């Protein structure tokens, strides 16, 4: 090969590979052109071995900027898909108002101003060995047997929670609230059948989110049944059911509005199988204070300072726990009330009633404490211990009833009726029934003698 430079125009024209960085210097380009003047122009990929060549359809490695754009696009897509799935599954649950209402607590249905409230976790009672025999299918409950017969199903078996409220006003009836897995349509149909079975005329009315059934054949105040979707049943007399409906729909204040019932039940947390709370009204506290003053020291004066009482029961398998809570209006009265309760417990434990029932050992185990304006008393027992006390109480009651029946003297037989007396009755009986004007003067001296 000649070392003489070849004219630039004689070298074949080659396409530069864009991947190769451009080499600086004209001498290098001339020497490359001289060395390859007899070779056909080839691309750089043609000079690689066959196994190192990339297929023509292979994707090029993305740059860093393209990689960032792709990751961002994937993130946006995942966010859109996830948000769509969330709102698609969430929207149907948020639309029906009855689903949200059914999640309210049972105290959210009881109007404020209640005097006494009793709540029960019926599911826990069914699972307890102590209460299960009384909730079995073979038991007879007064007032519910005709309901079961008319409706064809056991309402109590479908109830999960139950509450009974007694309003403070004397002219209002009590109310019952029940929640469970029953259908509102089945409850209303059952209520109409019960009214018909008793000779009444049922009428259905829509009130707020509830429908109610009542007997319109009588003008007297009678019971009214109301139910709504979600498994909530209300029953009571007169206008109290309407007040409970307003409370359930949020149109009236409830026990959740900072009432003393709510505070008592907060102290009973953990004892929720059965809870009872009683709040004394202002009128009742005045009456108690007057009676204590008239007792002249024979009644404990600390009872006039009691605002409310709460009782909680917890049933777990074979164990039973009870807690009693009392609120006073003055923290200085709490130790005094605790001392009186302790003295009362000691006397009751050694009394004849405790010996007959076998409850003395249980009362001895009761503990008491006072803290601030709260006085607590606690008792733990087994189901067997309480069962024995209940059985003895039933036997003692039966014995006392039999004794009372034996002590009542049988009426003595009267003299045989006299025919002459029946034919000519004396004036004295007739004067007793309807005294005449002439008989009145003779009656006055008899009264004076």
Measured at the alpha carbon of residue 203, what is the angle toward residues 198 and 208, in degrees to the nearest 5?
A: 130
94-115 burial, b if ≥16 CB within 10 A, otherwise e?
Answer: eeeeeeebeebebbebbbbbbb
Q: Delimit the domains of the chain by residue range.
A: 66-95, 102-257, 260-406
pTM, two decimals, is: 0.64
Q: Is 336 exposed, middle or buried (0-12, 13-18, 19+ CB in 10 A)?
A: middle
Hey, how many other C-beta atoms are within 10 angstroms of the C-beta on 213? 23
Measured at the alpha carbon of residue 276, what is the angle toward residues 273 and 279, in degrees to the nearest 5?
A: 155
Hey, how many other C-beta atoms are within 10 angstroms of the C-beta on 387? 15
Cα(260)–Cα(221) distance, integer angstroms: 30
The DSSP code for 167 is E
Find residue 212's DSSP bridge partners: 205, 226
Tokens of 242: 């309407």
Cα(244)–Cα(437) distance, integer angstroms: 60
Residue 365, CB half-sphere, CA atoms under 13 Å: how many? Answer: 12
User: Pick from 210, 305, 212, 308: which is nearest to 255 by CA?
Assistant: 308
Find residue 376's DSSP bridge partners: 325, 369
User: Pick from 159, 165, 191, 163: which is nearest to 177 by CA?
Assistant: 163
Cα(34)–Cα(430) distance, integer angstroms: 162
Cα(394)–Cα(194) distance, integer angstroms: 33
Q: Which H or E element spans position 321?
A: strand 319-328
Sign of CA dihedral 384, 387, 391, 392: positive
Tokens of 178: 């029940």
So what's the pLDDT on residue 171?
Answer: 57
Cα(64)–Cα(203) distance, integer angstroms: 76
Task: Give one word for 25, left, alpha or beta, with left for phi > 0 and alpha for psi -120 to 50.
Answer: left
Tokens of 89: 């599954």
Cα(102)–Cα(183) distance, integer angstroms: 13
Task: Give one word for 13, left, alpha or beta, with left for phi > 0 and alpha for psi -120 to 50.
Answer: beta
Per-residue pLDDT of the chain (449 residues; tens, 9 = 90+): 444 454 444 445 555 555 555 544 445 544 554 445 444 544 444 444 444 444 443 334 444 444 343 333 333 333 333 333 232 333 333 333 333 333 467 888 999 989 999 999 998 888 887 777 767 655 555 555 566 676 777 777 889 999 999 998 765 678 999 999 889 999 999 899 888 888 889 999 999 999 999 998 876 656 899 999 999 999 987 688 999 999 999 999 998 888 899 999 999 999 999 999 999 999 999 999 999 999 988 889 999 999 999 999 998 888 999 999 999 999 999 999 999 999 999 999 989 888 888 899 999 999 999 999 999 999 999 988 988 998 899 898 888 888 888 776 666 666 665 554 444 444 444 333 334 444 444 444 444 43
């Amino acid at each position: 090969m000649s070392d003489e430079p070849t004219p630039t125009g004689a070298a074949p024209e080659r396409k530069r590979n864009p991947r190769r960085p451009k080499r600086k210097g004209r001498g290098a380009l001339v020497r490359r052109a001289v060395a390859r003047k007899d070779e056909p122009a080839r691309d750089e990929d043609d000079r690689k071995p066959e196994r190192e060549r990339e297929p023509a359809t292979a994707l090029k490695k993305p740059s860093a900027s393209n990689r960032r754009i792709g990751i961002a696009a994937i993130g946006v897509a995942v966010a859109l898909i996830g948000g769509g799935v969330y709102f698609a599954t969430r929207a149907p649950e948020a639309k029906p108002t009855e689903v949200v209402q059914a999640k309210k607590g049972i105290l959210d249905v009881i109007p404020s101003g209640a005097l006494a409230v009793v709540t029960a976790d019926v599911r826990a009672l069914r699972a307890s060995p102590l209460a299960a025999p009384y909730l079995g299918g073979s038991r007879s409950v007064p007032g519910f047997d005709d309901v079961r017969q008319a409706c064809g199903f056991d309402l109590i078996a479908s109830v999960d929670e139950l509450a009974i409220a007694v309003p403070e006003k004397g002219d209002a009836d009590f109310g019952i609230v029940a929640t469970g897995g029953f259908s509102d349509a089945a409850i209303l149909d059952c209520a109409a059948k019960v009214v018909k079975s008793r000779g009444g005329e049922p009428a259905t009315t829509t009130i707020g989110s509830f429908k109610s059934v009542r007997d319109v054949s009588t003008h007297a105040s009678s019971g009214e049944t109301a139910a709504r979707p979600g498994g909530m049943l209300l029953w009571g007399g007169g206008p109290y059911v309407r007040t409970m409906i307003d409370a359930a729909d949020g149109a009236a204040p409830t026990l959740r509005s900072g009432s003393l019932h709510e505070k008592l039940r907060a102290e009973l947390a953990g004892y929720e199988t059965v809870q009872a709370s009683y709040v004394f009204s202002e009128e009742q506290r005045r009456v108690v204070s007057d009676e204590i003053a008239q007792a002249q020291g024979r009644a404990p004066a600390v009872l006039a300072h009691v605002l409310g009482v709460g009782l909680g029961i917890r049933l777990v398998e074979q164990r039973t726990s009870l807690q009693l809570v009392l609120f006073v209006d003055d923290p200085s009265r709490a130790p005094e009330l605790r001392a009186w309760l302790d003295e009362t417990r000691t006397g009751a434990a050694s009394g004849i009633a405790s010996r007959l029932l076998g409850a003395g050992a249980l009362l001895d185990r009761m503990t008491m404490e006072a803290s601030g304006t709260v006085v607590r008393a606690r008792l733990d027992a087994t189901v067997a211990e309480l069962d024995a006390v209940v059985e003895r109480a039933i036997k003692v009651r039966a014995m006392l009833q039999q004794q009372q029946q034996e002590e009542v003297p049988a009426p003595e037989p009267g003299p045989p009726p006299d025919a002459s007396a029946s034919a000519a009755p004396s004036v004295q009986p007739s004067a007793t029934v309807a005294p005449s004007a002439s008989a009145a003067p003779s009656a006055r001296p008899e009264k004076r003698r």
